[in-house]
C-alpha cells in the first residue's frame, strides 16, 4: 500500500507523486492476483502511466489458474502483459511497451470503473476480489511433490530438524571447499612472503610495509575468499530455490516468542548477507520502539564478513560442526536479548501474513550474478581496507606503538583471557569484520592460529567478534535510520552482549576442550 503507515511506504509515495516518474511497471504475482491488484488500483489513481506485468504465469497455470489478460486490460485501461521473468519470457516486450508509453505519456483510463474518491483500502480490497472473480478462471489443483516437501519443511517440529540438517550440509560444503582451496593457496602465498623478506632484508622499515601489504593480500585470497565465495553462492541458491522464505516462516514463531512483530524476520534474513540492508529494512516496521529493537538485534546477526572469522578460525581448526553450534548459539543469544529488550520496551506484536513462493530451479547465471554483486563489494571496499590495515599494523609494530593501542582494550582481553596483542585486531575489526582475523594473524606473528591460540581462546575470540560493535557502515546506517543517540546506545549494548556471550562460551569451551 501507499498509505504511508511506515517510512518505506511514505518514501515510495513521495517519489511516485514527484515529477520524476515517467511510468510505473507494476509487477504482480499471477498466482495471487487479488493481493497485487489492490496496489494496482492505488497506482492507477495517481494518474501516472501504468503497465501491469503479470509475472509467474507458469506458476499460476501449475496451480490451475488462467488469467484473461486482454479482458482485464480493457477493464483497467492499462496494458496487462504476461511475464515469466525467471526465464526472461516477455521481458523484451514489457520494456518496449514501457518505452513507448513513457514517450507518449499515456495515462490509465479506467472508464469510470474505479474512481479515486473510492480509493479506500476496504474498497480496493473488495474491488480487487471482484476483478479476480471476473477475470481469473480457476481449474483443479492437484497436490504434487512440492506440497509434500513443504509438509516436512514447514512442519512445527520436523521443519526445525530439516532446517538444522540443511544448515549443517551448507556449512559442511562451505568448509570443505574453503579448506581445499585455502591449504595450497596459503602455502604458495607464505612462500612469496618469505621470498620478499629475503630479497628486501629482514627488519627494515620498507620490508615491514611490503610484508604488511602482502599479508593483507594473502588474507583476502587465502582466508576470506575461499569461504566467502561458496557461502554467497550457497546463500543465493537457497534464496532462489525458495527455501529462505520458508526459513522466515519457521522463524516467525520465534520472533513472536521473543516479543517481536513477524516483519522483523526481514532484517534477520538480510543480516546474514550484510547488516547494512538489514538495518535499513527496519523502516518497514511502524512503531519506533520496535524499529529500535529490530535494528539492535539485526546488528547481532553474523554477516558474511563475520563468516570469514568463524570459518577461517573455528571451522578450519575444529570442524564445521563447531561453527554450526556457534551459529545456533548466536540465534539463542539474539532470542534472549530480544526477550529482555521487549520486556523493557513493551509493545504490541501483530501477526504477519507471509507469502511462501513456490520451489523453483535456480538459474546458474542469477545465482552467480548475486554472489558476484556481494563478492565485488568485498574486493572493492573491504580488500583495500585489509591491505591498508595490514600496512598500518606493520608500521605500528615497527615503532612499538601497538602495545599502547592494546592497553585500550586490555580490560576486555584480560577478562576474556585472550592475549594482549588481540586488542589491535579487535579495534581494526570495527572498520570491517574481516580485518579482525587478518590483523589477528599479523598481531600474533603467524597465520598458524592453532600454534598461537588454544581452542578455548579461538572460540572466545570468535564469539566476541560475532557480537561486538558493528562495522562503520552499519553504524552509519543506524545513525541514518534511528539517530545518533540510538546508534551509540546500540553500539554500547553490543559490547556488553559480546562480553557476556564470550564469557559464557569460554566457560562451556573449557568444560568441553
Asked if 305 contacts 471 with a C-beta cutoff of 8 angstroms, the reply is yes
The pLDDT tens digits along the chain (513 residues) read 888 777 788 888 889 988 788 899 999 999 888 889 999 999 998 888 899 999 999 888 888 889 999 999 999 999 999 999 878 899 999 999 999 988 886 555 544 445 444 457 688 888 999 999 999 988 776 667 777 888 888 888 898 899 889 888 988 898 888 888 877 877 777 787 778 778 877 778 888 788 888 877 877 777 778 888 888 898 889 888 888 878 877 777 666 666 665 666 677 777 887 888 888 888 777 778 888 888 998 899 988 888 888 988 898 889 888 988 998 899 889 888 888 887 887 655 555 566 777 788 888 888 898 888 878 877 887 788 778 888 888 888 788 788 888 888 899 999 999 999 999 889 888 888 888 887 888 788 777 888 889 999 999 999 999 999 988 889 988 998 899 999 999 999 999 999 999 999 999 999 988
**Which three cell numbers mark 109?**
483510463
Which residue, chain included where needed, has cell 539492535? 296
Asked if 470 contacts 494 with a C-beta cutoff of 8 angstroms, the reply is yes
Which residue, chain included where needed, has cell 585489509? 386
Check residue 48 and report its DSSP letter: S
Distance CA 312, CA 291 (A): 33
**Which three cell numbers mark 305?**
564478513
| Residue 485 CB partners (closer than 8 Å, separation 6+) | none
Distance CA 57, CA 80 (A): 12
φ, ψ of residue 25 in degrees (nearest 5): -100, 110
**Which three cell numbers mark 131?**
476483478
Nearest residue to 502 (alpha-carbon basis) of 471, 457, 440: 457
Check residue 357 and report its DSSP letter: P
Classify residue 90 as left (phi > 0), alpha (psi -120 to 50) or beta.
left
Global pTM value: 0.73
φ, ψ of residue 322 in degrees (nearest 5): -65, -40
Which residue, chain included where needed, has cell 579482525? 436
Mapped onto helix, strand or coil, the DSSP state of residue 274 is coil
**Which three cell numbers mark 63?**
496451480
Which residue, chain included where needed, has cell 492505488? 42
- For the chain, the farthest-separated pair of C-alpha atoms sits apart, in whole angstroms, at 84
Amino acid at each position: 500500500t501507499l498509505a504511508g503507515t511506515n517510512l518505506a511506504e511514505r518514501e515510495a509515495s513521495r517519489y511516485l507523486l514527484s515529477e520524476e516518474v515517467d511510468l510505473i511497471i507494476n509487477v504482480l504475482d499471477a498466482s495471487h492476483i487479488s493481493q497485487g491488484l489492490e496496489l494496482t488500483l492505488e497506482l492507477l489513481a495517481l494518474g501516472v502511466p501504468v503497465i501491469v506485468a503479470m509475472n509467474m504465469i507458469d506458476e499460476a497455470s501449475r496451480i490451475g489458474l488462467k488469467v484473461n489478460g486482454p479482458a482485464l486490460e480493457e477493464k483497467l485501461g492499462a496494458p496487462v502483459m504476461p511475464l515469466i521473468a525467471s526465464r526472461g519470457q516477455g521481458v523484451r516486450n514489457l520494456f518496449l511497451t514501457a518505452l513507448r508509453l513513457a514517450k507518449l505519456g499515456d495515462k490509465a483510463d479506467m472508464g469510470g470503473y474505479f474512481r479515486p474518491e473510492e480509493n479506500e483500502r476496504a474498497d480496493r480490497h473488495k474491488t480487487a476480489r471482484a476483478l479476480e472473480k471476473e477475470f481469473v478462471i480457476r481449474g483443479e489443483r492437484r497436490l504434487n511433490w512440492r506440497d509434500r516437501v513443504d509438509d516436512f519443511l514447514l512442519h512445527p517440529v520436523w521443519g526445525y530438524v530439516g532446517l538444522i540438517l540443511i544448515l549443517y550440509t551448507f556449512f559442511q560444503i562451505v568448509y570443505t571447499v574453503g579448506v581445499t582451496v585455502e591449504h595450497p593457496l596459503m602455502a604458495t602465498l607464505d612462500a612469496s612472503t618469505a621470498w620478499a623478506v629475503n630479497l628486501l632484508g629482514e627488519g627494515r622499515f620498507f620490508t615491514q610495509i611490503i610484508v604488511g601489504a602482502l599479508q593483507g593480500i594473502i588474507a583476502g585470497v587465502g582466508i576470506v575468499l575461499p569461504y566467502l565465495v561458496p557461502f554467497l553462492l550457497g546463500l543465493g541458491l537457497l534464496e532462489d530455490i525458495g527455501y529462505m522464505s520458508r526459513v522466515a516462516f519457521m522463524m516467525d514463531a520465534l520472533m513472536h516468542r521473543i516479543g517481536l512483530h513477524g516483519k522483523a524476520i526481514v532484517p534477520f534474513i538480510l543480516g546474514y548477507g550484510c547488516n547494512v540492508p538489514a538495518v535499513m529494512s527496519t523502516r518497514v516496521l511502524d512503531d519506533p520502539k520496535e524499529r529500535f529493537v529490530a535494528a539492535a538485534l539485526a546488528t547481532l546477526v553474523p554477516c558474511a564478513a563475520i563468516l570469514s572469522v568463524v570459518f577461517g578460525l573455528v571451522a578450519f581448526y575444529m570442524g564445521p560442526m563447531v561453527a554450526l553450534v556457534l551459529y545456533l548459539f548466536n540465534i539463542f543469544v539474539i532470542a534472549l536479548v530480544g526477550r529482555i529488550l521487549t520486556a523493557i520496551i513493551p509493545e504490541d506484536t501483530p501477526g504477519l501474513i507471509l507469502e511462501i513462493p513456490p520451489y523453483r530451479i535456480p538459474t546458474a547465471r542469477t545465482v552467480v550474478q548475486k554472489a558476484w554483486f556481494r563478492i565485488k563489494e568485498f574486493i572493492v571496499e573491504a580488500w583495500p581496507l585489509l591491505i591498508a590495515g595490514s600496512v598500518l599494523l606493520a608500521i605500528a609494530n615497527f615503532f612499538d606503538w601497538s602495545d599502547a593501542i592494546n592497553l585500550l582494550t586490555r580490560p576486555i582481553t584480560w577478562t576474556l583471557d585472550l592475549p594482549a596483542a588481540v586488542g589491535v585486531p579487535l579495534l581494526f575489526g570495527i572498520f570491517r569484520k574481516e580485518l579482525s582475523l587478518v590483523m589477528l594473524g599479523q598481531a600474533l606473528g603467524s597465520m598458524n592460529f592453532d600454534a598461537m591460540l588454544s581452542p578455548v581462546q579461538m572460540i572466545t575470540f570468535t564469539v566476541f567478534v560475532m557480537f561486538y560493535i558493528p562495522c562503520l557502515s552499519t553504524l552509519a546506517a543506524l545513525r541514518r535510520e534511528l539517530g545518533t543517540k540510538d546508534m551509540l546506545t546500540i553500539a554500547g549494548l553490543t559490547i556488553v552482549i559480546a562480553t557476556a556471550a564470550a564469557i559464557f562460551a569460554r566457560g562451556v569451551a573449557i568444560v568441553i576442550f
